[in-house]
Structure 1
């Protein structure tokens, strides 16, 4: 996990919510954030992941019943 993702999870107290997700979701999020080249897009993807973790019932823009 990149440091900037770890720091964002910790600063918003979302590490436990992230760790509670299935491994495929954690991997998808990290790949989705890191595969893009532009920094603003990385940050937008990161923010979406954080918002979805806060909501708890959303995964990649789709309803999720975890």
Structure 2
């Protein structure tokens, strides 16, 4: 990621595996740097495993559907 002035969030193995398994890595990589970084940080900050999974599932769903970012309309 480039162009971001805030701390970069690392992608967990779990997130990488889910993106790959669902065939969504290209869609993820097509998103702007800030969105990719926000998704990773948001998922990682979840304290409970079920919350982390819920957030991961939301990201996957938004990538699959396109045009949505954090439950808001987004034009990419």
Alignment TM-score, normalising by the size of structure 1 = 0.99
Is residue 29 of structure 1 aligned with residue 63 of structure 2? no
Which of the two has greater helix per residue? 1
Which segments of 5 or more consecutive residues in structure 1 lack a partner in the other structure? none
Shift >4 Å, 4+ stretches? none
Larger radius of gyration: 2
1:36 CA displacement? 1.2
Out of 52, 57, 60, the position equivalent to 2:70 is 60
CA distance in 2, matches of 1:46, 1:64: 18
Out of 46, 50, 54, the position equivalent to 2:56 is 46
Quote the RMSD (CA, aligned, Å): 0.3
Q: Secondary structure at the match of 2:62?
A: helix
Question: Residue 8 of structure 2 aligns with which residue?
Answer: none
Alignment TM-score, normalising by the size of structure 2 = 0.86
Q: Secondary structure at the match of 2:23?
A: coil
Task: Report the count of equivalent residues.
Answer: 66
Which segments of 5 or more consecutive residues in structure 2 lack a partner in the other structure? 1-10
